[in-house]
Structure 1
Amino acid sequence: MPPVPDAATPADPAQLLSALIRCPSVTPAEGGALALLESVLAPAGFMVSRPVFREAGTPDVENLFATIGSGAPHLVFAGHTDVVPPGDPARWSHGPFAGDIADGFVHGRGAVDMKGGIAAFVAAALGYLADRGGAPSGTISLLITGDEEGPSVNGTVKLLDWAAKNGHRFDAAIVGEPTNPKRLGDAIKVGRRGSLSGRITVFGRQGHVAYPHLAINPIPQLTKLIRRVTAEALDEGSERFDPSNLEFVGLDVDNTAWNVIPAEASARFNIRFNDQWTVATLEAWLAARLDEAAGNEIAYELELMEGASESFLTHSAELIDSLTNAVEAVTGRRPELSTSGGTSDARFIKDYCPVVEFGLVGETMHQVDERAAVEDLVALTAIYRRFLDDWFG
């Protein structure tokens, strides 16, 4: 583990990332990652809290909130130390939790998604504070969860609420997710499409396959409903968003027998939708088409899952311009303002303050041999540092 920097010693982002990777923090395990961050931040003057949140039916999750300074402007950097499972370690060129630094890369699970972003921001913040010789002219906070890759129940949502109840009011936020497709500086995420998951269940009548007239087979009926809701595009996209898309992700029939017509069949789907839709209008759109296809012949149920998120777009010119200028100054590239990709915890933060996302190149995230280029870590640290200088300047 690298030496713990004091208030006057900035961290090396590659060494800090290596140490974070060596903490096996597969969701929901803390794995030592939050303890490591506390050991780095507290000597620099940050007040560190590590609240644990609970909810029935979900694992307990430990989180971290670290803050330094007071008053406005209050900048919060958000991220997660939890990672997805590495799979078979034998398939990795370097151990998934070894944190090896070799051939110009830091190797390991979470290097890109997103311990690298955290390491770069911590290094930038410590450097900024060391050069100032004390707290910022405002407030810097880190809001770090261990539940982003999991159900996202006991993480950022509750940590934001906890922070608000403790008197924290944020003016802007950066989420350090990997946002760049190919090169550092390609893109800043300034919004996200919404996400809605659901299940369509068709109820038939169980029976013997040799006597189909005595049964109602729900499988052909389910396929009829699926064909109807996939027969037309939801939209063609909008000025700032890609087209919405509905994808079926699973078909479920609880039947292991070869001579039994099942009683019911269901299909699971997810919709990624742009600013032309809301959860409510999508539910109405689905219900209308399913009712049309079902008529009086098909008994079905449409169930929408909890945790749906609406689309959002950040409009803060001050936040976007400051980060854009920092990216261009370090990389020479003016980043695209993007809303593509999946969801992130920015969908929760948007309810508290303007939020953008910017981090490493995401090509290897969730893959075997996930890795972050040392050169990119250094550049990302420089970008965050320029942003801090400008934001608090």
Structure 2
Amino acid sequence: MSKFSDPAANLATLIACPSVTPAEGGALAALEAMLKPLGFRIERPVFSDEGTPDIENLYAKLGDQGPHLMFAGHTDVVPVGNETDWTHPPFSAAIADGMMYGRGAVDMKGGIACFIAAVARQMETHGRPKGSVSLLITGDEEGPAINGTDKLLRWAAERGETWDASIVGEPTNPDRLGDTIKIGRRGSISARLTVHGKQGHAAYPHLADNPVPGMVTLLEALLSQPIDAGTTEFQPTNLEVTSVDVGNRATNVIPAAASAIFNIRFNDSWSADSLKTHIAEQLAKTARERHLRPYGHDDIRYELEWLGRPSPVFLTRDERLIETLSAAVTQITKTTPKLSTSGGTSDARFIKDYCPVVEFGLVGQTMHMVDERVALADLETLTQIYGLFIANWFERQ
């Protein structure tokens, strides 16, 4: 077997790189050292944007003809927290009781390590694939995701790259390897709601205008009724209030304003624009008709500000891609995977504009936690799944 056909060895090398967002930490250099001997051509573009750190990315390609299969992922990891809380140092890749410990073990250096091992084994057994394989790897998935996959895709497309399918190696399985393939994701959008009042003494409320009752009224209207009942492929749209604040430490002062931030995960009943319209209309109606103000003030005075860039909802319908991966999972694990659209967003939201995309990786139970770890047996199983998928996908083209 070649030097890079062992997923555990590949992963240990990657874990040893402290690539906490936005640091490259040596992880992309380590990938380049693995991929070049396999024949991949490597490019490492750096992208910049005002107010964000520069991010180094990697694009590696084997072959020049179609069909073209892309594996996408990220080498950046979240902070380790208090290192003394870890059973083993977070960048040591220590092995104990059949588990490898380290930040990024499952999210998602493990998936990258397995895919490289799968490609190496396929080349040993069958030679180069009947087409092209590329790895599109960013260092900006756990950060603001501005200088990462989105720009890397555009950069590659401008150079003539096209893809027929993509698999993202995020940890998709909740309990055991083979549970779940992600075939889509809900959209995500966030907003800040600010209710304006007039500061005053708590003992003289008629001289002030307390914004808190107005905020309570508006949030109650957003939370009291379901936004929808869900669709065939997606869960119901869900709104969560993530912050409420008046910026007031005094107990006897009515605040001048109250603010709240909320996030909505939406299904394919909505686009970002239609959902914005729905929320705005609901707030406007509530502000006119329902409020708790007992002193005869006007309608609730508020502002609604949409934050950041919405993540669109999407669903992959490429049956060949889905069926080939499902069959590989079933053959290796003897489990029929569930096709799911649950969970948060991922960089698949960018990839879906270029080719059909699915997500499948390791078990995610310890991602972002102290003592993040992966079973060595799962690394071998995932490598076998990826290998069988690669072989069968190219055969079916």
> Which category describes the TM-score, using the shorter chain as reference length?
over 0.9
Structure 2 residue matching 1:17: 3-state secondary structure: helix
| In 1, Cα distance between equivalents of 2:282 and 2:327 | 47
Q: Which amino acid aligns with 1:369?
A: D
CA distance in 2, matches of 1:345, 1:253: 35
Counterpart for residue 355 of structure 1: 357
CA contact (8 A) 2:4 2:10 kept: no
Give the corresponding residue for 2:72. 78
Displacement, 1:125? 1.0
SS where residue 134 of structure 2 aligns?
Answer: strand
- Once superposed, what is the RMSD of the aligned Cα atoms? 1.3
Taking structure 2 as the reference length, the TM-score comes to 0.95
Question: Partners in 2 of 1:199 and 1:137 — Cα distance?
Answer: 51
Which residue number in structure 2 is paired with residue 139 of structure 1?
132
2:338 counterpart residue number = 336
3-state SS of 1:54 partner:
strand
- Alpha-carbon distance in 2 for matches of 1:302, 1:377: 46
Letter in 2 for 1:201: T
1:167-246 alignment to 2 at 5 Å? 167-246=160-239
* 1:92-148 deviation digits (Å, cap 9, x = unpaired): 111111111221111011101111000000111122123334x32211000001111
Q: CA deviation at 1:44?
A: 1.2
* Counterparts of 1:168 and 1:252, CA distance in 2: 47
- Aligned equivalent of 1:313: 315
CA contact (8 A) 1:10 1:130 kept: no
SS at match of 1:324: helix
Aligned pairs (5 A) from 1:1-393: 9-133=3-127, 135-295=128-288, 296-393=298-395
* Pairwise CA distance, 1:9: 4.0
| Cα displacement (A) at 1:91 | 1.0
CA distance in structure 1 between the partners assigned to 2:54 and 2:305 by the alignment: 27
Of the structure 1 ranges 315-324 and 247-256, higher mean CA displacement relative to structure 2 is found in 247-256
Q: Which runs of 5+ in 1 are unaligned?
A: none
- Report the TM-score, using the length of structure 1 for normalisation: 0.96
Mean alpha-carbon deviation: is it higher for 10-19 or for 207-216?
A: 207-216
Task: Measure, in 2, the Cα distance between the counterparts of 1:316 and 1:136.
Answer: 21
Partner of 2:295: none
**Percent of residue pairs identical:** 59
1:204-250 per-position Cα deviation (integer Å, ceiling 9, x unaligned): 11223333222211112111100011110011211111111100000
CA distance in 2 between counterparts of 1:201 and 1:211 reads: 23
Alignment partners' CA distance in 1, 2:123 and 2:161: 20
Instruction: Name which of structure 1's ranges 137-146 and 292-301 shifts more when overlaid on structure 2.
Output: 292-301
Moved more, 8-17 or 50-59: 8-17
The amino acid of 2:221's aligned partner reads R
How many pairs were matched up? 386
Unmatched runs of 5 consecutive residues or more in structure 2: 289-297
